[in-house]
Structure 1
Amino acid sequence: MLPLIAGCLILAPASVPDLFPREIPLPADARVVLAQDNSRARAGSQSILLQITTSLATPAVLDLYRGFFREQGKVLVDLEASGVPICSGRLGGYQCTVSVIGNSRTVNVVVEPEGRTFTAFHEREAAARGTSAPIDARPPDTSRWRLSGALFPGDHYPGALVMRHRDGSLRGLGLALVHPRPALDSNGKRYCDNDTPPKGPVHLRDGARFAVAAPGAPLGAFFVIDAGGTLSSFGADSGGRLGQGIGDATYRWFDPVPILRNVRHVVAESANTAVITDRNELYVWGSNLSGQVPGHPDTFARSPVKVLENVVSVALARDAAYAVKTDGSLWGWGEAYEDGFLDGGVLRRRKVPYFIMDGVRAVFTAGIGPVAVIKADGSLWTWGANSMGQCGHGTKGQAARPQRIALDVERLAMDGHHAALLRKDGSVWTWGWNLSSQTGFPKAEGAVTRPRKLADGAVDVAVTSGETYVLKADGSLWGCGRNSGGVALQGRGGLRQAGLVDTGLKVD
């Protein structure tokens, strides 16, 4: 809620605990804009980005905010360098970071709740109505769960879905999470042919702020950020992707090892892992065969390596990485597929970050699939690999230029072959490869080449290699696709013909 009253910005909506003890003073000519609204993003990445523009010189602006934080006695960080956070503190249970960007007359204020959701309001709508107006009118979110991560199994391996409760506990669905041993025994024989997944989510651990699973057959790797921001990893360590400094093929199943502190967000692919810290620093590790870890001298980085600063979003492909900086610029490095760097394919492998475009809020990719970005206005744009229509352009074949395929996008999930998006109105749309009806439409349609509406009333969405999952506002979990490992249908395997299937789970 962003009402402007008498030259002050009040960030204390009545529906949530007070964000600040009192008003933040603003210069008389200050202009406040809600630049980004990630208030409904997955836990651990929720935020509102406010941009305050004023004619005051930078030192005066910085002193104003330094003074406010110090007065509250909650200053955690105070850095002098321009372009990085100048002060940071927790006020009323919220993390708040202030930094200078662009022409040095714009101040960023990033507000992040700690494990709580909140509703943001458009300043433009508020000014028009003389009061605050909600961004969307989706059904009330009564679910305390979020789809925190998904394991991308191979065609014959058990799948898994990770769910995170608001209290910080992690639950798992599917055989790959239930069994504390590899999906294949030493002779390469599947041990779980006759096993039946348990009914309902299986408790994995407590105290988690965010969790994600990396693809890999027969097993993936799992990464958990605890409530204090410490990142731990466990699972199959191949090429150093666990970041534990070892990098062999050892299975470290359900034996989490702490590897990095002050972590805000983590993404993982089959060969690499990347994290963004509380200071917007980007660390990457794992395979460096295609230049995925810029500046690292070896073919594998078995521990985290700092790559960039001022990063707000990161995505990993099989052999490439993409990052969005605080100024909205998109960068890529490694080996891109199907002109993912938009450089005309002149140089597919780049060992240093390469500028791609401006005006980006978040970036997504996976495997050898296309690249997708959500821009500041909430529009979704895609380009690159498109052999199965996974760009959503209505055609097949390489998409050499970005095209807009959706508006008002809140969340995107993609696995390289198909994708699902959640719009701000709670509707879910899918497209891409459809051999197993993973888009929710008849598998006779081998590919869905444009986004097609699948469901309403959703609060979260996730995809695996051949499956789509939708969490609805009433707490019910729905799925469609291959049902590998009995995730969606709780033990009833087989390909689905079409349509979402109620898993029978209604989590509170």
Structure 2
Amino acid sequence: MWCWGANSHGQLGINVTSEQVEKPIKVARECDCATKKIACGGGHSLLLDTDGKLFSCGWNSRKQLGYEKESSTFQRVWPLSGINFTNIACGWDFSCGVTDDNFLFVWGSNSHGQLGLPKNHFPEEVNPTRLHVNACSVSMGLRHTAILNSKGEVWITGCGRHGQLGLGHDVLQSDRFKRVPSLTNISHVACGQNHTVAWSNEEKALYVWGDNRHQQLLLMTDKYKHIFKPEKIDIDVKQNVRKLISGWTHFLLWLQDGSLLTWGKNNCGQLGNTNYHSGKIFNVTLPGNRIVEDIAIGSEHTLCLADDNTLWAWGWNEHANTGTDIKENYVYVPSRVVLEEPTKILKIYAGGAHNFIITDASIKYANNPPESNEKN
């Protein structure tokens, strides 16, 4: 496991706190099982291993680690031992895990009801608590949470001041999960800073709601500054989506044919180009016509794995978020991230201003991956 980026709270798990780690370095872990998934919050990280056990490190101001003290190394979340988790997610200062029977555990900040727990009965900082809701997948934003259940329904909770709950002008906050009534057959859902998006593979349709001040919802801001109920947007995509992911104010749509669409705010180069028109969809292409193998997104930066095992990044770089050789605060086009020990990259993760990748040390490359010199 390798990491880089912001580390002011020890969120990289390398047993030290620092402003940033500029280049990918190894993370030492004492664990018998391989890593299944990592989720990154504003200043904390969760790790799920292949046995379903949870670990966490970093910022713990709101108990978002699931235990009492802050840690700069990945520590077992013992209050949740004995529970088999299959998925995890992080918000700014709150966290959750989905169990193998599709129950949802939540912990951390509940300041705006983003954990779906009644504020009259729970404190603003919550220890791990199980909810009686069905959750197949979950996404967390700055102060709201959306879950997708087995019926393809979207349920949502938290702050809705910008319309990000999608429940209308009259529901600007909720401390219980409520169904977004107009949505069915949804396959993907993603929360941004103050907005939410959903995609239906069955309909080949995009739905958007919440803050639109940067035209991140693809509607004109003079008429639609905030959208309080889901709007169906025709983006002329006639295929299934592999991933729909959101940063603070921009999106990435990774399509079945491997193409990558992006739109939203572009002040930091988070769209992978120098165009500042935020109401337009762009097609991101990697140098040498490489094919996208996987994609991950932070608050304002992107990490991308190509099919030739090369790693690329772009966007906000103030805390060395991208891990590239570029020293400026913004990286406007996909730029190479180089590992000291070229090995097979298995998985990539990003969030906030930090990143993790998982590699297979048994598969090594002498210098560069096959054919990478011809494509650079």
Q: TM-score scaled by structure 1? A: 0.58
Matches within 5 A, 1:193-342: 197-198=22-23, 200-205=24-29, 207-215=34-42, 220-244=43-67, 246=68, 250-259=69-78, 260=80, 261-293=83-115, 294-295=117-118, 297-342=121-166
Q: Distance in 2 between matches of 1:374 and 1:286?
A: 28
Greater C-alpha Rg: 1
Q: Distance in 1 between matches of 2:304 and 2:245?
A: 11
Superposed displacement of residue 324, structure 1: 1.6
Q: Distance in 2 between matches of 1:424 and 1:371?
A: 22
2:210 alignment partner, one of 376, 384, 387: 384
Q: 1:174 to 1:322 in 2, by over 3 A?
A: closer
2:231 alignment partner, one of 378, 402, 410: 402
Contact 2:198–2:207 under 8 Å retained in 1: yes
- After superposing the two structures, state which structure 1 stretch, 308-317 or 265-274, moved more: 308-317
If asked which structure has higher relative contact order (CA below 8 Å, sep 6+), I would say: 2
1:285-335 C-alpha deviation (Å, 9 max, x unpaired): 112222223246222343211223321121222222211211122111222
Q: 1:462 to 1:484 in 2, by over 3 A?
A: farther
2:251 alignment partner, one of 395, 413, 419: 419
- Which residue matches 1:375? 200
Superposed displacement of residue 410, structure 1: 0.9
SS of the residue 2:77 aligns to? strand
Contact 1:315–1:321 under 8 Å retained in 2: yes
1:391-419 C-alpha deviation (Å, 9 max, x unpaired): 23465622344223445221122122112
Contact 1:172–1:204 under 8 Å retained in 2: no
Contact 1:409–1:423 under 8 Å retained in 2: yes
- Which residue matches 1:461? 295
Contact 2:14–2:27 under 8 Å retained in 1: no
Q: Distance in 1 between matches of 2:61 and 2:28?
A: 23
Q: Distance in 1 between matches of 2:165 and 2:179?
A: 8
Query: Aligned letter for 1:324?
Result: L
Superposed displacement of residue 371, structure 1: 0.5
1:358 equivalenced with 2:184 (yes/no): yes
Query: Aligned letter for 1:289?
Result: S
Contact 1:479–1:488 under 8 Å retained in 2: yes
Q: 1:255 to 1:465 in 2, by over 3 A?
A: closer
Q: 1:485 to 1:340 in 2, by over 3 A?
A: closer
Contact 2:59–2:70 under 8 Å retained in 1: yes
SS of the residue 2:170 aligns to? coil
Query: Aligned letter for 1:237?
Result: N
Superposed displacement of residue 223, structure 1: 0.6
Q: Distance in 2 between matches of 1:178 and 1:343?
A: 38
Length, aligned pairs only: 317
SS of the residue 1:502 aligns to? strand
Instruction: Kindly report the root-mean-square deviation, in angstroms, between the aligned alpha carbons of the 2 structures.
Output: 2.5
- Which residue matches 1:109? none
Q: Distance in 1 between matches of 2:88 and 2:14?
A: 24
Unaligned residue ranges in structure 1 (runs of 5+) = 1-169, 184-189
- Calculate percent identity across the aligned residue pairs: 21
Query: Aligned letter for 2:231?
Result: P
Contact 2:4–2:323 under 8 Å retained in 1: no
Query: Aligned letter for 2:22?
Result: P
Superposed displacement of residue 255, structure 1: 4.1
Contact 1:233–1:242 under 8 Å retained in 2: yes
1:417-467 C-alpha deviation (Å, 9 max, x unpaired): 112221111111111111121111215x1x422321012610211222332
Query: Aligned letter for 1:308?
Result: H
Q: 1:251 to 1:304 in 2, by over 3 A?
A: closer
Query: Aligned letter for 1:230?
Result: K
Q: Distance in 2 between matches of 1:178 and 1:340?
A: 32
Q: TM-score scaled by structure 2? A: 0.76
Q: 1:496 to 1:309 in 2, by over 3 A?
A: closer
Matches within 5 A, 1:74-223: 170-174=1-5, 176=7, 177=12, 180-183=15-18, 197-198=22-23, 200-205=24-29, 207-215=34-42, 220-223=43-46
Q: 1:463 to 1:255 in 2, by over 3 A?
A: closer
